[in-house]
Amino acid sequence: MAGSPRVGVLALQGDVREHAALLAGLGAEVALVRRPEELATVDGLVIPGGESSVIDKLSRTFGMREPIRVAIAAGLPVYGTCAGLILLADEVLDGIDGQQSFGGMDIAVRRNAFGRQTESFEIDLQVPALGDAPVHATFIRAPIVERAGDRVEVLASLPDGRIVAVRQGALIGTSFHPEVEGETRFHVMLLESAREAAATR
């Protein structure tokens, strides 16, 4: 589609195909990003769910960690789901030894806050920033946000108050997997930011 933003999906590990298919369905030009030169061509980036510690290690192996950190600091729109949320956090409360994040969001997250994969669950969430229709959210070994700084907008919380969706500037993070349910509104939010970024490139 002419004029569509070029959005990358960090393709080191995790549910890359699901995000790529959803973005393509929204009319974005999609790039699978594994190398710094590929990152340099995109107007926005999705960091998918998977294993945050594995994505962290692979990002260093492929020379991607610092380029992503620099791009985030420079204002690249990024949407992180589940493991992606962990990687966007400035603080990971229970990371494995040596685990690092890309950072950029003034939040502290706890990994696997809901237990094992067998304890995955679904729930309808109200997300006022996305309109009246609830978001059907799927949580799979999901993190939670235990601290959100003053610059962070809380987009959604569970009924018990635990924070599961946040936004800070051009960065969006969710504990859950909208792509599993075909929920597109968070990706549309990313595309709007990416479109703005593309206009200023």
Which amino acid is located at 177 in the chain? H
Measured distance CA(162)–CA(85) in Å, rounded: 15
Q: Say how many residues make up the chain.
A: 201
Cβ(78)–Cβ(47) below 8 Å: yes
Residue keyed to tokens 């237990």: 115
Annotated catalytic residue 179: yes
Confidence (pLDDT) at 200: 77
Q: Where are the alpha helices (DSSP H) in the chain?
A: 16-25, 36-39, 52-61, 65-73, 83-88, 178-181, 185-199
Number of domains the chain is built from: 1
Residue 114 falls inside a structural domain: yes
Q: Which of 18, 19, 82, 183 is catalytic?
A: 82
Q: What pLDDT was estimated at residue 118?
A: 61
Residue 56 has pLDDT above 60, yes or no: yes
Residue 128: CB atoms within 10 A of its CB come to 8
pLDDT at 2 over 50: no
Assess if residue 90 is contained within a domain: yes
Cross-strand partners of 81: 174
Task: Encode pLDDT of 102-157 as tens digits.
Answer: 999 999 999 988 776 666 889 999 999 999 999 999 888 899 999 999 999 999 99
**92 in a structural domain:** yes
The answer to whether 66 is a known catalytic residue is no
More confident residue, 65 or 4: 65
Tokens of 159: 């009924």
Does the active-site annotation cover 38? no
Q: Which residues pair with 166 in a beta bridge?
A: 154, 173
Q: Which pLDDT belongs to residue 114?
A: 77
CA distance 92 to 139: 18
**pLDDT score of 1:** 43
**Confidence check: pLDDT of 199 > 90:** no
What is the share, in percent, of the chain residues with pLDDT greater than 90? 83
CATH code for the domain in which residue 180 is found: 3.40.50.880
- Residue 113 resides in a domain: yes
Q: Whose CA is closest to 134, among 85, 181, 78, 172?
A: 181
- Residue 1 inside a domain? The answer is no
Round to whole Å and give the CA distance between 32 and 58. Answer: 15
The catalytic residue among 19, 177, 183, 187 is 177
The two tokens of residue 173 are 């993070």
What mean pLDDT is predicted for residues 73-98? 94
- Decide if 15 is inside a domain: yes
| Domain extent for 67 | 6-199
User: Model confidence at 98, in pLDDT bands (50, 70, 90)?
Assistant: confident
Domain contains 10: yes
pLDDT attached to residue 113: 81
Q: What is the mean pLDDT of residues 178-200?
A: 91
Supply the pLDDT for residue 3. 64
pLDDT-based confidence at residue 38 (cuts at 50, 70, 90): very high
**Given the residues 179, 181, 187, 196, the one annotated as active site:** 179
CA torsion sign, 193 to 32 to 182 to 155?
negative
